[in-house]
Chain A
Amino acid sequence: MKKTRRIKIFKEFFIQLIYVSIGILIIFPILYALSVSFMENKDVLTKPINLLPPSATLDNYSIALTRTPLLRYLLNSTIVSLISTISRIIMGSMAAYAFSFYEFRGKKALFALAMATMMIPPDVLIIANYGTISKLGLINTYFGMCSIFLVSANNIFLLRQNFLSYSTSLRDAAYIDGCGTIRFFTKILIPTSSPILFTLFISSFVSVWNQYVWPMLVTKENEMRTVQVGVAMLKDRESSIFAPIMAAVIIALLPTLIIFILFQRKIVAGMMDGSVKA
């Protein structure tokens, strides 16, 4: 009996060892980029290959931060992601409020119309949207970069699901207490919905931060590029200098990676709710 138990413990240990190894294999590209970011450039492409830096250096980070506008890129990404995310939450919860607490003419049709936007991939629209943005003179502006991310039908859907779980009696009670619709929205509905709002905030932030095509299209000045666009352009100019590029890559991926590791459960919960629609 004791022996089989010991075998079982050993087997469990062994399985976990294998699984963690597979896990490390999967994140290997990230680990390798991290390692290269500490290497001297001459140690990157060698035979035999260096998996760990023979002599560790922080030079690549100082090169990445001083010779490229990486800090400016990070600032741009932060501004664009924050504006878009906050706008998605405000406009999304306002629309969801209308769809869950009011009865009005055309409600079903308008809701269907909002949901239909999920069927049109934003990539199909980039030509026409680029036209709009350039006509409005918004190329190279934060508003232009945020414009197509300002509302998400998915967020409206999730917030509506959430608001529908409130009993209308709560709102009616608030009315009787003399609480107007705006006060009900700002003082009761929004504060009590903070868990879902937080989830949406995190997942929207990560998704806007990682956008590439649209920010690339509407920024012509180097100073206005987001970190994803800026990093992808490093290679054109300094194609063989991989060590500093990997330092830039690590700086670019760190914010979302940290957010992901810290809030993984929340992000996942947000995505799962989104899938219920299917």
Chain B
Amino acid sequence: MLNAYQKISDQKGRGLSGKEDMRKKMEPYLWMAPAFLIFVVFTFYPFLQTIYKSFFMVDQVGRIRKFVGIENYLYILRDSNFLSSIKVTLMYTILTVPLSKVLAMLLAIMANKKRRLSVVYETCFSMPMAIATSVAAMIFQLMFVPSLGLINNLTGWKVQWLTDARIALLAICIVQIWLSIGYAFLFLLAAIRSIPADVIDSSRLDGAGIWMQVRRIYLPLISPTMFYLICTDIAWSMMAMSLVNVMTAGQYGTMTIMQYVYKQFTAAGNYTNANPASIIAFVLAFLATMLSFAWEKKGVTYQ
């Protein structure tokens, strides 16, 4: 594609001055410069800096004090708070990612056929995705009020939703699932609608029940979309903290890794622990993504 461009510039300026030539060469870099400036300052530099500093003792304002090698990592890996935050984060992922995808898939299968009221219920199914986490947290906090809040009030339960260490994480996961269904629903609906109708019809004529249809037809044909959703969601769940921060501030057994990081450096000014903790969070998210790529080879069917 450059040929024509060069030809033209050749025609225009035979004996183009060296300066002019240089300018032409620089052009693409200049177009990219603003974006890369931001990437360098707010992504690459902080990433490398966090890795670098994670090997040092760091003072309360974030300045490097003393090189300690992997000592920081060994220290937080012995810290029971941090270990439990890894456990909580994994639990959070296991509880939210599969369930939200299964529910979204059921909704998408239901909504597959276009009906007169499709627009109405499709909008309802997907609407929670437009809600900010902090706003959702406030609404559910009202519904979770133990004494006379909506849920206990209607069910007659006496559950301490957000202050019982056995329940709090589950309660937060419910909110997270509510928030993530919409996004997955829209993707899966598009995937399911792209399955040719005769494929589904013929299987129905063959007498396949709904469960059989899901297993033999829907799941294999939507597996690339499902894969994409699960992949991005796992990486995202590893970073979960907004809901936790608003609803329990990490108390009652809900401290996720990022909440731990946040607490370490805002409340305690402890950068020495916060840096290696965020690198471990990154590695876990990265591993999860790699793991799902490995799973892709086995379980995903591309047409």
Q: List chain A positions with a Cβ less than 8 A from chain B.
A: 12, 15-16, 19-20, 22-24, 26-27, 29-30, 32-33, 36, 44-49, 90-92, 94-95, 97-99, 101-104, 107, 110, 113-114, 117, 119-132, 147-148, 150-151, 153, 156, 168-169, 171-172, 175-176, 181, 206, 209-213, 217, 228-229, 231-232, 234-235, 242, 245-246, 249, 252-253, 256-257, 259-261, 264, 268, 271-272, 275, 278
Evaluate contact between B139 and A91: CB separation under 8 angstroms: no
CB pair B271–A127 under 8 Å, yes or no, is yes
The size bracket of the interface on B is 35 or more
Is B121 among interface residues, defined by CB-CB distance under 8 A? yes
Q: Which residues in A have their C-beta under 8 angstroms from that of B236?
A: 121
For residue B136, which residue of chain A has the nearest CB?
Answer: A29
B residues in contact with A122, CB < 8 Å:
43
Among A15, A47, A114, contact of B115 (Cβ-Cβ < 8 Å): A15
CB A120 to nearest CB in B, in angstroms, measures: 6
Give, as a whole number of angstroms, the nearest-CB distance from A252 to chain B: 5
A110 to chain B, nearest CB (A): 7
Nearest Cβ distance between residue A237 and chain B, in whole angstroms?
Answer: 13
CB pair B39–A275 under 8 Å, yes or no, is no
Chain A positions within 8 Å of B245 at CB level: 212-213
Asked if A20 contacts B117 (CB within 8 A), the reply is yes
Q: Check if A94 sits within 8 Å of B134, measured CB to CB.
A: no
Given contacts A36-B142, A272-B187, contact A213 B1 (CB under 8 A): no
Contact B42 A33 (CB under 8 A): no
Asked if residues A114 and B36 are in contact (CB atoms below 8 Å), the reply is: yes
By the criterion CB–CB under 8 Å, are B42 and A27 in contact?
no
1/0 contact string of B108-140 vs chain A (CB within 8 Å): 001100011100110111111111111111111
- Bound-state CA distance A132–B41 (Å) is 9
Given the complex, which residues of B lie within 8 Å of A246, measured CB to CB? 138-139, 142
Contact assessment for B31 and A98 in the assembled complex, using a CB-CB cutoff below 8 Å: yes
**A268 contacts B124, C-beta separation under 8 Å:** no
CB-CB < 8 A to B246: which residues of A? 212, 232
| Chain B, Cβ-Cβ closest to A130 | B265
A206 and B130 contacting across the interface, CB-CB below 8 Å? yes
- Please tell me if B154 contacts chain A, counting CB pairs below 8 Å: yes
